[in-house]
Amino acid sequence: MDELFLQTMQNWMGIFMRRSMSKFRQYMIDNGLSMTQMTSMFLIMHSGSSSISDLAAHLDVSNAAASQLIDRLVQQDLLTRTENPSDRRNKLLELTEKGKTIVAKSMQARQGWLQELAITLDETEKKKIISALEIMNSKAEELAPSTGPICPESL
């Protein structure tokens, strides 16, 4: 049973990622953005604001590389860089309204196919999936927190 469960989950994860990332990649291409730029914008969105050094640490790049990345996002009017009132040596990074819109639309692009899928399901199937996913969500939340260079919750 464990093998069938794992295989079924892996199949679903593969389909989910392919469909989600395909739409997300196309959105990035259409808007002239790289994965690193989008990741930076997501990190800043989740934290509300960030410093260059915090962003560099989460992206696992040097401060100089992060600064160049930020320069491009500022030039595209997606980020603002302002003086930190509590430490004038540091700059605070925040999304502009245009940046917030880009992030929101990228999430819509990534998740839009789920509505197409929902239309194909009858009410009984939807109820079964909801029950199963509620269990999965609960169990996944109980696991130890994930860590890594791009974990927005740790900002």
Domain ranges of the chain: 22-112
Tokens linked to 105: 């639309």
Q: Is residue 77 packed enough to be buried (19+ CB in 10 Å), middle (13-18) or exposed (0-12)?
A: exposed
Write the DSSP string, 32-94: T--HHHHHHHHHHHHHSSEEHHHHHHHHT--HHHHHHHHHHHHHTTSEEEEEETTEEEEEEEE
Task: Please tell me the pTM assigned to this model.
Answer: 0.75
Q: For residue range 25-67, what is the model confidence (pLDDT) as tens digits?
A: 999 999 999 999 999 999 999 988 888 889 999 999 999 999 9
CATH number attached to the domain at 22-112: 1.10.10.10
